[in-house]
A and B are shown apart, each in its own frame.
Chain A
Amino acid sequence: KAGVTQTPRYLIKTRGQQVTLSCSPISGHRSVSWYQQTPGQGLQFLFEYFSETQRNKGNFPGRFSGRQFSNSRSEMNVSTLELGDSALYLCASSAGLNTGELFFGEGSRLTVL
């Protein structure tokens, strides 16, 4: 069974640009969550989608958005990038039944210059 796939793995952007990150969950998983990890703030929840609907949202500005497609693949977008957006963005999938086990991808490392 293929794991969670995130693309791209690494990217460099400049301030003011926007970025789109992609996540393909494990086959059959309908829940996709996104997390931001930085040395200062640790791992912080961004949002979670289940069957194309956003069920939960973390405490991030509106520049951070996401969506989920009918095949459960998800994208997140960050507009007007700031230096502080440099982070490892992790995607996790689950069956969405609160089993507790999230399956994480390897992450997309974003550097904003």
Chain B
Amino acid sequence: SQELEQSPQSLIVQEGKNLTINCTSSKTLYGLYWYKQKYGEGLIFLMMLQKGGEEKSHEKITAKLDEKKQQSSLHITASQPSHAGIYLCGADSSGGYQKVTFGTGTKLQVIP
């Protein structure tokens, strides 16, 4: 079964600093999703990457997919307290039937 390992597990950054979260898959990635979760709440979809080399941005968050390395990275520029939360990567492990395997999660704290 597919496993997704995220690093780091937790991160504390000063407001305004940039940061990167990585997600590495044990199997070939055909599609990779990024979600954000505030503690104890549901997940919010950030973006989906489907092709190797694809890069997408949403506000100050940019994600890239490296198919060869079976890895994706999420980069936040000029972090703000509103970016705090748990970031989870996910991959469709059922060939299209909405069965998503999620990564271990990265907890981000942004200090004002």
Contact = CB atoms under 8 A, between A and B. Distances in A.
Query: Which of under 10, 10 to 19, 20 to 34, or 35 or more describes the interface residues of B?
Result: 20 to 34
Contacts, number: 69
B99 interface: yes
B96 interface: yes
Nearest to B6: A42
Contacts of A58: 99
Interface of B is mostly: loop
30 contacts: A31-B98, A33-B99, A35-B102, A42-B102, A42-B105, A43-B88, A45-B101, A48-B97, A48-B98, A48-B99, A50-B97, A55-B99, A56-B94, A56-B98, A56-B99, A58-B99, A90-B43, A96-B98, A99-B48, A100-B33, A100-B50, A101-B33, A102-B33, A102-B43, A102-B45, A102-B100, A103-B45, A104-B42, A105-B42, A106-B41
Interface of A: 4, 31, 33, 35, 42-45, 48, 50, 55-56, 58, 88, 90, 92, 94, 96, 98-107, 109
